Structure 1
Amino acid sequence: MSNPLRDAHTKGYVTGLKQFGVVDRLDVDVLLKTYPDTFNLFLIAIKQLQDSKGNKGEFTEWSDKFSFFQIAGIHGLPHALWDGEGGKKNPDDRDNRFGSGYCAHATQSFPTWHRPYLAMLEQALYEKMLDIAELYNEPRKSDYKKAVEKFRLPFWDYHRPRDYNARFPGVRLGDATTFYPYDFRAPQIFTVANVKVQMYPDDREVQIPNPLNRFTYPDANTGFFKSQDWDSTGFSQSSPSRLQTRRQVARNPQWKDPVLALNAEVNNVREDTLRLSLNFIEQGPYDRYMDFATAGVFGAIDPLDGQQANGSLEGIHGGYHNYIGRGGHMSMVTTAAFDPIFWFHHCQIDRWFAIWQGAHPTDPLNPTGKRWFATPGEAQSRNLDDTWTTATTPLLPFRHPDQTKTKYWNSNLSYKTSNFGYRYPDLLSSDSPDPTAVQKRFKDTYQWARRLVNSPNNKAAPPKEMEPLNLDDSKFFRGIDDFTPLNKPKPVALQPTFSLMSLSEVPALKATSFSLAPEAQPEAFAAKVEALPSVQAPISTAPEVSITEEHVSREWYIDDVVQRLALNGSFSILYFLGDFDASLPPSSLGLAPTFVGNTHIFTAPIQACDNCGHQDQQAHLVTNTTPMTAMLLDYEATGRLASLRPEHVKPFLVQNLKWRVVGPEGERIDPRVLAEDRDFKIAVSCKIAPLPGHETEESQVVYEMYPDITDEIIANAS
């Protein structure tokens, strides 16, 4: 039987899977449990796309344009064009200082470029799965051929609980940890070293290296990854990171195992990243595509003037790249796509994009009728360089199957997921769902896990369909040593208060507590970071709003802006609410008990990326927001903070909000480097919203900003 995707493979067309129908993408554990035959084919297929050696037909040459290696390489390294496509986009690079590549980060095309990129791997997997299904003996051949139809690339829902009773770094308990009755650890299909599959032709059970856990790079002697490619990553020649992908490379004494470290970190940031994702779907500051889609700042505006959102889909995406990688391949643009977890992470980002589209379908001010790229008038008013990326800019290198229509996919063509043959259940099986219904479904699914106030008895539980799945009897984990069975006890209710040691009494922090570095003292540093002027809050002017505190919630954020290429590579601004052990390697501080989150500037060096070179020339700014409400609520529960009202939080932040800059290779960066000529600014903001049951027609969501404490927080750099 001929494979219907073979011709597209030969010509390098990204067709998507629309010819096979429009099918739901599912969470990875849901796909694994609900459609085990489909998942079995998926595991075998991705392994064969990754492998370059084996029996005939069971591996893929490194040079194959639809191999895992070639597809992953589109995102960064090696310094080679995909199938000869592309070339320079920047006419100002006359000295040939910039690399080529296809980077779309910090542009309006960030979500839309990754959509055909995901579809490309999805298509390659489907083609391979069709071939594999034919290799089984009957009657299983018929079963597997039918199972292929259920496949679409799965996503990793960070906010879906995987187990019960999590403990992770924090300030709620006396041992420098925090407890939560549900565990949001990474799905184990990403973390076990080996898995079991049912192999053709006789459906026998065999154990294979887990293709979702790691990818092994081409040997140096193959010529596909040259030493100069690796030299740009910061990995030393002796590092095992040049052999295979790794996560959580930086070791923390309390969380030495990289899997435990990963799980601790994603649990730690889970509540506040959920808070941000719920904000995305609500009407308000995130209802304009440009502000939601990208961390990039466009035009002659002050991104921290209080008039627009500071967080973004791209910002939360960059944060997770660092939470997962922490010194590993996921933390860097040039190597991220080689880690198999990248694809599930980006599928979740695409899912949020699709849900946002469903919740924000129309814009009467935009000629297209939809919330989309900046209009010509808006571009002119904001001094945008609208020739650099527009809704019709080709999304290289993704070839469109109808070459009579267009050579490449563009953002307009990528607007609908159905054009690629998939959708998400959140969209209620429709291309044009009711936006109110989309918002309600999203809130009903997730808001149970977001605290707005300290309740005397927090017994929130997820909807039935979000309860942890029991995978103990899954054939994929049968006899696998590093698989951990589901915690059998039902979750324990989160108690309202716990005793808390002084942080100086916590053993992990005794050796070296936080202190300001000499160069970060106020007289030497604060003046170098621009303090914010008095600003108006978006939606409403905060001081004019009469607030009954008992009827509202307060969510607190630390906002920042900086030039994207300030350090010519990825870097992070880490935020803490309290002291931390300054003797630890900087890149391991994400596991400090007082860590609340980071802004991860996810960029390639200009030598590897033409778009990055252009943005460096333009001193292109990016902005982000880091929620810190969850830890403030923990401090309130323990009695260290009286309430979340400004009169209590502002002095608390002045005393306890610390931050540190960590460079591309995990090194500590003098914060003055960002302040002197890289346009770095920070601010503190607070979202005030009516609590459930207190909404009225006059209710408003108000954002307040507090420039009066900015200088003192600036001085808390380390």
Structure 2
Amino acid sequence: MAVWSSLKYAVVASCAVGLTQVEGLPTAAPTSAGITEWGIADRHSLFARQNVVIVTGAQGANPSARQVAVRKEIRQIINNQDRSEFHLLLLALRRMQNMATTDPLSYYQIAGIHGRPYMPWAGVNAPRGTNLNTGYCTHADVLFLPWHRPYLSLFEQSLWSNAAAVVEEIRQAGQTSLYNRYNAVLPAIRLPYWDWAADASVPREVGEMPTIQVETARGMQTIPNPLYTYRFQTNLAEFAAVQPFGRMRETYRWPSPTNTPDGYTSQGAALNNAMRRIAGDLRNRAYRLLSYTDFNAVGTRVTAPGQPARDSLEGVHDTVHGTTGSNGHMSFVDNAAFDPIFWLHHANMDRLFAIWQATNPGRYSLSGSSAGTYAIPRGTPENMNLQMPPFRSSENTFHTPAGVTRPESFGYSYPETLNQTPGNVIAAVNRLYAPGTPSGNLGTAVRAAKHKRTVVRRQDVKPASNLNTPPSPDALTTIQDKVVEDQKYQDWETEIKVNNAALKSSFNIHIFVGDVPSDSKTWASDKNLVGTHSIITTVDGGHMESLVSGTVPLTSCLLNKVVTGDIKDLEPATVIPYLKKNLKVRISMPDGEASDIKKVDKLAVQIAVATVTLPASKEELPKYGNYEVQFDAVDVPKGNFGA
């Protein structure tokens, strides 16, 4: 495979050419917060000269051309009548998963950067003062989004190179027709994203098909589905410290004990039921977060005593992790990246980051203090020039938050952001996410009532099937005058603060309005569930102690209650007594077992309200006022454990 070898080493050894020729990319240089402080001259040097990997992303066969391809939603690729792109993606990912586990561009090695097996990747060693019992990833940290951008680009870099190798193998096999089709789609191969905010369900091809058919040089063949699971080639010794992962020969979602050789199977249907139950919660959170203007607020779940609780892209990301994993690999930071759905999920997180950047030009700036990783000591001051190991921008420097500003510099973009104005991007966000949110549905209802365009049938005046999804615009037309005045309405939320390491493991905070089933294993799909906020830690959970926050929106639920007549409006005098009587907070572990709320260190759940102004045009987002706390639902430090 001489051609594959040349492609591979062009990517590994010479990709700096592609990166330096990307217009507008800042040059990363050692700073006082960077390599000098980390002791590059001693035996703890971050750099080793063997296995040097320069992270450029998928720049194509000709890096100087600065090719930019659009990452696509996974369902768009799956549903394309021409299956060439989907089949090539599957073959490339399968090839990447089968690479030798010692190769720094293998699936195993790249996934291992995020957490276990807690060892140097590509010669990037741990300097003094770092935590050797964690991975390189930055969680509970303002670097969360910028650090994951070169991480995904590294994965995409290897994925594209494997796709190129597959195409070359088909050419050498003399399959001219198949070669022409796959070669035609090769430039478009990028890491797909899973837009759970638009559609929270997991496609069958990702969640329910252990094997899948693809067209190869030998015709149609059935292969292990590389989107469904990753099968480990190692002896799992690096996972044996915390069972059952030392026994799991492949990655699982919602693992259930069975008589299979591994002893487990994934439960795709249960996963989809849980994701659909919180679909409105996820969409509303993502839509609201895109209205934030401060990157330090939108970027990380970390908060501090005395600060108001707030949501973040990292926080909603955690909930997707917890819900897709449910005691499988995605439930824990140190194991998550081995599950193929991790990459689809994080591509969507990067997309939301890119959308936020596009709608907030000039506002991407960060400052903070590192939570500590395998390569960054805890307490390291963070700024736009801090280097982010282990992702090299050159042989002697790492990528920085400033240097990863533009996705295009890594050879990709997104449908909503490529060559678009901020107004156009906001219009795209409104098309995708406003329907099915309180603001979107109320806005439609108000406009319909104003122009008297809608005659609502009695049978259409009904609540939504999920409490976290608002009633339809038709149903809201009949009550909009009770909840909207002068284009404004009252928006309610639960505000959550908790110690990230409160239970020495990942856990879930569930918000119910109404009765709660006694069987905690049914909570994730219960009709009275309004939303879930997940806390994601390592399997042992002990070293990630920090105060974090998140929210669960309540307005969709309350609008349903107005439609059913349980409450008359959204005013505090109406809502406060109703929620004091009906809102309940419950805690579950990743396996679904209930946990005693009294044991959840620093847990505080408050109910807050803000005034929201509906957007006046398609190129505007809702304007959220300051949330004011109305009452404490739970305050563990003060002995308030809720209903």
Q: Which residue of 2 aligns with 1:189?
A: 205
The separation in 1 between residues aligned to 2:337 and 2:360, in whole angstroms, is 29
The separation in 2 between residues aligned to 1:694 and 1:215, in whole angstroms, is 45
1:341 aligns with 2:341: yes
1:690–1:147 distance in 2 versus 1, CA, 3 Å: same
1:673 aligns with 2:607: no
1:198–1:458 distance in 2 versus 1, CA, 3 Å: farther
Contact 1:454 1:637 in 2 (8 A): no
* Structure 1 residue 325 displacement after superposition: 1.2
The separation in 2 between residues aligned to 1:657 and 1:249, in whole angstroms, is 30
1:436 aligns with 2:423: yes
Contact 1:597 1:626 in 2 (8 A): yes
1:313–1:711 distance in 2 versus 1, CA, 3 Å: closer
Contact 1:28 1:156 in 2 (8 A): yes
TM-score of the two chains, using structure 1 as the length reference = 0.70
- What one-letter code is carried by the residue in structure 2 that aligns with 1:198? E
The separation in 1 between residues aligned to 2:274 and 2:613, in whole angstroms, is 30
The separation in 2 between residues aligned to 1:665 and 1:29, in whole angstroms, is 29
> What is the root-mean-square deviation in Å for CA atoms of aligned residues?
3.4
Task: Select which of 582, 586, 589 maps to 1:656.
Answer: 582
Contact 2:604 2:634 in 1 (8 A): no
* Structure 1 residue 493 displacement after superposition: 12
1:495 aligns with 2:464: no
1:700–1:456 distance in 2 versus 1, CA, 3 Å: closer
Task: Select which of 67, 76, 84 maps to 2:115.
Answer: 76
Q: Which residue of 2 aligns with 1:325?
A: 325
Task: Select which of 273, 290, 293 maps to 1:264.
Answer: 273
1:287 aligns with 2:255: no
For residues 606-655 of structure 1, the C-alpha deviation after alignment (integer angstroms, 9 at most, x for no partner) is: 78xxxx74x53xxx211111112233333333333333322222112111
Contact 1:215 1:339 in 2 (8 A): yes
Task: Select which of 146, 153, 163 maps to 1:119.
Answer: 153
* Structure 1 residue 113 displacement after superposition: 0.9
For residues 426-461 of structure 1, the C-alpha deviation after alignment (integer angstroms, 9 at most, x for no partner) is: 11x22xx4222221221123212224498799899x
1:684–1:570 distance in 2 versus 1, CA, 3 Å: same
Q: Which residue of 1 aligns with 2:374?
A: none
1:646 aligns with 2:567: no
The separation in 1 between residues aligned to 2:202 and 2:177, in whole angstroms, is 35
SS at match of 1:396: coil
Contact 1:557 1:628 in 2 (8 A): yes
For residues 471-504 of structure 1, the C-alpha deviation after alignment (integer angstroms, 9 at most, x for no partner) is: xxxxxxxxxxxxxxxxxxxxx999322699xxxx
1:684 aligns with 2:610: no
* Structure 1 residue 375 displacement after superposition: 8.9
The separation in 1 between residues aligned to 2:329 and 2:214, in whole angstroms, is 27
1:302 aligns with 2:322: no
SS at match of 1:16: coil
Contact 1:454 1:496 in 2 (8 A): no
- What one-letter code is carried by the residue in structure 2 that aligns with 1:123? Q
Q: Which residue of 1 aligns with 2:23?
A: none
1:688–1:353 distance in 2 versus 1, CA, 3 Å: same
Q: Which residue of 1 aligns with 2:624?
A: 701
Q: Which residue of 1 aligns with 2:11?
A: 8
* Structure 1 residue 339 displacement after superposition: 1.0
Task: Select which of 409, 419, 437 maps to 1:419.
Answer: 409
Task: Select which of 492, 501, 511 maps to 1:565.
Answer: 501
- What one-letter code is carried by the residue in structure 2 that aligns with 1:36? R
SS at match of 1:149: helix
Q: Which residue of 1 aligns with 2:227?
A: 212
The separation in 1 between residues aligned to 2:127 and 2:563, in whole angstroms, is 55
SS at match of 2:114: coil
The separation in 1 between residues aligned to 2:464 and 2:282, in whole angstroms, is 26
Moved more, 27-36 or 111-120: 27-36
* Structure 1 residue 691 displacement after superposition: 3.7
Within 5 Å, which residues of 2 pair with 1:532-611? Answer: 549=485, 551-585=487-521, 588-604=522-538
SS at match of 1:659: strand
Q: Which residue of 1 aligns with 2:282?
A: 273
Q: Which residue of 1 aligns with 2:550?
A: 624
Q: Which residue of 1 aligns with 2:25?
A: none
- What one-letter code is carried by the residue in structure 2 that aligns with 1:289? F
Task: Select which of 165, 185, 199 maps to 1:131.
Answer: 165
* Structure 1 residue 120 displacement after superposition: 1.1
Task: Select which of 74, 83, 107 maps to 1:28.
Answer: 74
The separation in 1 between residues aligned to 2:316 and 2:587, in whole angstroms, is 18
Within 5 Å, which residues of 2 pair with 1:221-240? Answer: 225-226=236-237, 229-232=239-242, 234-235=243-244
- What one-letter code is carried by the residue in structure 1 that aligns with 2:274? E
- What one-letter code is carried by the residue in structure 1 that aligns with 2:204? Q
Q: Which residue of 2 aligns with 1:380?
A: none
The separation in 1 between residues aligned to 2:94 and 2:334, in whole angstroms, is 22
Contact 1:49 1:68 in 2 (8 A): yes
1:494–1:140 distance in 2 versus 1, CA, 3 Å: farther
The separation in 2 between residues aligned to 1:103 and 1:111, in whole angstroms, is 10
Identity of aligned residues (%): 26
The separation in 1 between residues aligned to 2:328 and 2:222, in whole angstroms, is 26
SS at match of 1:626: strand
The separation in 2 between residues aligned to 1:452 and 1:302, in whole angstroms, is 29
- What one-letter code is carried by the residue in structure 2 that aligns with 1:442? V
Within 5 Å, which residues of 2 pair with 1:430-509? Answer: 430=419, 433-452=420-439, 495-497=460-462
The separation in 1 between residues aligned to 2:411 and 2:354, in whole angstroms, is 14
* Structure 1 residue 656 displacement after superposition: 1.4
* Structure 1 residue 340 displacement after superposition: 0.6
- What one-letter code is carried by the residue in structure 2 that aligns with 1:185? S
| Structure 1 unaligned spans of 5+ | 52-59, 162-183, 363-369, 377-384, 461-491, 501-546
The separation in 1 between residues aligned to 2:432 and 2:279, in whole angstroms, is 15
Report the number of matched residues.
546
The separation in 1 between residues aligned to 2:228 and 2:187, in whole angstroms, is 25
Moved more, 342-351 or 645-654: 645-654
1:391–1:458 distance in 2 versus 1, CA, 3 Å: same
* Structure 1 residue 197 displacement after superposition: 0.5
Contact 1:250 1:327 in 2 (8 A): no
| Structure 2 unaligned spans of 5+ | 13-50, 258-264, 370-377, 448-456, 466-482
* Structure 1 residue 658 displacement after superposition: 1.0
1:86–1:630 distance in 2 versus 1, CA, 3 Å: farther
SS at match of 1:296: coil
Q: Which residue of 2 aligns with 1:525?
A: none
The separation in 1 between residues aligned to 2:303 and 2:56, in whole angstroms, is 33
* Structure 1 residue 287 displacement after superposition: 0.7
Contact 1:99 1:606 in 2 (8 A): no
Contact 1:575 1:659 in 2 (8 A): yes
Within 5 Å, which residues of 2 pair with 1:396-415? Answer: 396-400=389-393, 402-403=394-395, 406-415=396-405
* Structure 1 residue 710 displacement after superposition: 3.9
The separation in 1 between residues aligned to 2:71 and 2:398, in whole angstroms, is 24
Q: Which residue of 1 aligns with 2:188?
A: 150
- What one-letter code is carried by the residue in structure 1 that aligns with 2:337? A
* Structure 1 residue 75 displacement after superposition: 1.3
SS at match of 1:556: strand
The separation in 2 between residues aligned to 1:156 and 1:420, in whole angstroms, is 20
The separation in 2 between residues aligned to 1:566 and 1:681, in whole angstroms, is 12
The separation in 1 between residues aligned to 2:502 and 2:641, in whole angstroms, is 21
For residues 244-302 of structure 1, the C-alpha deviation after alignment (integer angstroms, 9 at most, x for no partner) is: 21112379xxxx992222222222222222122222222xxx2111001010126xx52
Contact 2:210 2:228 in 1 (8 A): yes
- What one-letter code is carried by the residue in structure 1 that aligns with 2:401? S
* Structure 1 residue 150 displacement after superposition: 0.9
The separation in 1 between residues aligned to 2:163 and 2:459, in whole angstroms, is 45
1:635–1:264 distance in 2 versus 1, CA, 3 Å: farther
Contact 2:138 2:147 in 1 (8 A): yes
